Structures are given as C-alpha cells and as structure tokens.
Amino acid sequence: MSLCSISQSSRVPNSTFFAKFFLDKVTAPAFAPIPAPITSWIGIDGVALVIGAGQGIGKTTALSFASAGASAIVLSGRTVLTLTQTAKEIKQLNLPRPVETLVVTADITNEEQVKNLFAIAQRKFGRIDYVANTAGLLGHAPGPIADLDIQKIKDQLATNAVGFLIVLRVAIKFLLLQEPHSVPGISSLSHPPVRGSIVMLGSAATHQTIPQAAGYTMGKYAALGMMKTAALDYARQGIRINEVAPGWTMTPGVTSGENNMEGVADMVAGTTPIGRWATPEEAADVVVFMSSPRASYAIGESWVVGGGVSVKPTWIQ
C-alpha cells in the first residue's frame, strides 16, 4: 500500500516558509533526504487485532496494517499454522520499524475463546486500537433455497451472524474500558481521538441480489444490521463501527473445495462492471482506511468494494 508520509509538524506558517527554505539551502546539501515522521499520513500507529488473519482478506488486512504503521498486530483465527505464516510474512516486510506480532487461536462461535483473545491482547499490549473481523464462512455450493441443506445454513449463521455478534459484543466491552487514542499530527478538532475502531467484513451480497445463496446472504444481512445498530449505540462513546463489503474476491475460501464452481470466473468477468475479480489487497486496504483516523466521521457505514456491482445498470448483461 502506497501511503504519503507528511507529518503535521513538518508544516510551517506561510510567513516563515521562505526564510526556512533559504536557511535549509545554505545548511544542507541539495536534495537532502527528509526524515520520515513517526506517523504515516493515514495515521495508523496503534495495536490492531485481526480475526481471520490466516488467509485471504484477513491475511492481507494484517499485512496492510503492518505497512500502514501499526506498532503491533494480534493475529487470530482457528489454525496456528496459517497464522504463524502471516506473522512470518509481516516480519519479512521492509518496514521503517519492526511490527510486533502475537498469534492467538480463537473460534468466533465460542464466546469464551473470544473473551480470552481480547484479554490476552490487552494484557500484552495495554490496549487495542483497531479491531478487524474478517472471519466468514461461504459454506455451501449454490442452489435454490428449497434444496439447501438446513444444517449447512445453520453452520453459516453460527459464524456469519452469531459469531459476528459475539466479536462485536466483546470488542465493544474492551474498547469502552480504554481512553481515547490521540495520533500525533492528526488527532485534533478536525479528527477527534476515539477509544477504538471496529471494522467488520460484510459482503456486496447485501447491496445486490445473488441467486442461490440464501444461507450466506442471510448471515451477511444479519451482520450488516447489527453493525448499524451498534454504531448508533456507541457513536457518542468514542467507538467507531463500520463495515467493508467486498464483491467477488479471489481468495482461497472462494476458489477451493465445493465452492470452486464451474463457470463462476466467466460470470464474474462478464457481470462485474470493472470486468474482473477483486484482489484481497483491494478490500484489505479499505479495511485499514476505515480503521484509521482519516475516516473519523464514518459511523455505521458499509463501504462496497465491488467493482461497480452496486451501481450497475439493470440493462447490462
């Protein structure tokens, strides 16, 4: 992710600009490098907790947080092996400062495990500034609603609806206990500090109609509704809650197993206005932006990263 690095402290009043410029010309060699500020333009400098960080959009979200300037990242999911690989890739990034990582396994359908995840993160780092819940379950091959396996639908709802509710409840309780976080060079009257940000990964399926995907769509509509309600409930308590809703994204969860559906690639290319799948990075970067103080006035929003699917004219075939 390419981010411009301009700190508030580097700005000088107009009346002193030319004096400073000419003084620098005398005392410094031409094209002298400008020291990088501690905080990048986007203002990510705290602790991120990413759920679903072992693969797909969750993994790229963790990498994007690291590139944006997070000081530490808690990597959570069900599988230690994939989470450890994400931590390894973060350490391999060529960053101005090292990013500390912590791997904690948790199943979001288990409230005690989620509570333990947040407690471990809080004990280790003192606070949690950005929560990104990217976990999800696609769940079954497409089919009309009357033919779907009811148990598979229940499994989807356990993760995509109840699991999201559990994460949201636990995250809010932890964020309420901490003081607002000020970002040097950004936090001010124009970007007031907050206790923390929560971004949930939804789906463009809640902004358009996808046939033969009832179980998945139900769970994502439930998550969208609870996100909006929670955002209103806690907007004045210093917690920002939003959603990023990706469209068709090329991730292992979509392209493997029974979800590797014949003809889907051609369908996506033909019906998506941009004419291609999204990359995981394109969704992850929006998650990080919505977590940052640059999105300080965004409350209860669902940002569709769908290549134009939510605005496609009905006559496009």
Q: Where residue 182 falls among pLDDT bands split at 50, 70, 90?
A: confident
Give 20-74 pLDDT, tens digit per residue.
Answer: 332 333 333 333 333 333 457 889 999 999 999 999 999 999 999 999 999 999 9
| E runs forming strands in the chain | 47-51, 72-77, 100-105, 130-133, 196-201, 239-246, 302-305
Q: Give 177's pLDDT tier (boundaries 50, 70, 90).
A: very high
The reply to whether 220 belongs to the active site is yes
Considering only residues 40 and 85, tell me which one the structure prediction assigns the higher pLDDT.
Answer: 85
CA angle (206 as vertex; 66, 303 as ends), nearest 5? 40
- Pinpoint the alpha helices (H) of 28-159: 56-68, 80-91, 111-125, 150-157
Strand order in the sheet with 239-246: 100-105, 72-77, 47-51, 130-133, 196-201, 239-246, 302-305
- The one catalytic residue among 91, 115, 152, 216: 216
How far is Cα 100 from Cα 124, in angstroms, rounded to an integer? 11
The pLDDT value given to residue 168: 98
Class of domain 46-311 (CATH, top level): alpha beta
CB of 181 within 8 A of CB of 240? no
Model confidence at 311, pLDDT cuts 50, 70, 90, reads confident
Q: What is the pLDDT of residue 37?
A: 39
Query: Which pLDDT tens digit goes with each residue over 112-126?
Result: 999 999 999 999 999
**Cα–Cα distance, 259 to 216 (Å, whole number):** 12
Q: From residue 61, give the alpha-carbon distance in Å to each of 70, 119, 233.
A: 11, 22, 26
Question: CB of 196 within 8 A of CB of 178?
Answer: yes
Q: For residue 20, what pLDDT is reported? A: 35
Q: How far is CA 294 from CA 81, 174, 185, 189, 194, in A?
A: 34, 23, 12, 13, 12
pLDDT at 76 over 60: yes
Half-sphere exposure at residue 166, Cβ-oriented, CA atoms within 13 angstroms? 22
| Higher-scoring residue by pLDDT: 105, 30 | 105
Is a pLDDT exceeding 80 seen at residue 140?
no
pTM of the model: 0.83
Q: What are the E-state strand segments in 134-227? A: 196-201
For residue 272, the 8-state DSSP code is S
Active-site residue identified among 91, 220, 221, 228: 220
pLDDT at 193: 87
pLDDT of 17? 32
**pLDDT tens for each residue of 152-174:** 889 899 999 999 999 999 999 99
Grade residue 13 by pLDDT with cuts at 50, 70 and 90. very low
Contact 44, 69 (CB under 8 A): yes
- 152 within 8 A of 140, measured Cβ to Cβ: yes
Which of 43-57, 205-219, 265-279 reaches the highest mean pLDDT?
43-57
Report pLDDT for 243.
98
Q: Is 221 a catalytic residue?
A: no
What does DSSP say about strands 47-51 and 72-77: parallel, antiparallel, or unpaired? parallel
The answer to whether the beta carbons of residues 74 and 48 sit under 8 Å apart is yes
Residue 290 confidence class, pLDDT cut points 50, 70, 90 = very high
